[in-house]
Amino acid sequence: MDAFPTKKMELSGEFVMNDVAQRISLGQEYVSQQHAQIQLMRSVTRISPVAIVQHLFEYFAGTGFERHRHFVENVQLYAREYREFVMDMDRSDPDSPHIIGVCEGMSQKPVNPESIPVFEDTLSLIHDFNAAAIDLFLLILFLVVLLSGAYLAFVRIDV
List pLDDT tens digits, range 13-56.
Answer: 889 889 999 999 999 999 999 999 999 999 899 888 899 999 88
The CA distance from 11 to 14, in Å, is: 5
**122 C-beta neighbours (distance < 10 Å), count:** 7
End-to-end Cα distance, the chain: 99
Please list, in sequence order, all residues whose beta carbon lies within 8 angstroms of the beta carbon of residue 119, skipping any fewer than 6 positions away: 74, 75, 78
Residue-level pLDDT at 3:
56
Q: Residue 7: enclosing H or E segment and its boundaries?
A: helix 7-44
| pTM listed for this prediction | 0.75
Check residues 123 and 93 and name the one with the higher pLDDT: 93
List the chain domain ranges: 7-156
The candidate with the shortest Cα–Cα distance to 16, out of 100, 133, 119, is 100
- The pLDDT tens digits for 49-97 are 899 999 889 888 888 888 899 899 999 999 999 999 999 998 898 888 8
Q: Considering only 7-16, 66-75, 114-123, 140-149, which range has the smallest mean pLDDT?
A: 7-16
What letters, b where the CB count within 10 A reaches 16 and e where it falls short, cover 73-109?
Answer: eeeeeeeeeeeeeeeebbeeeeebbebbbbeebbbee
Nearest 5 degrees, angle CA 61-CA 80-CA 31? 55
The CA distance from 142 to 53, in Å, is: 11
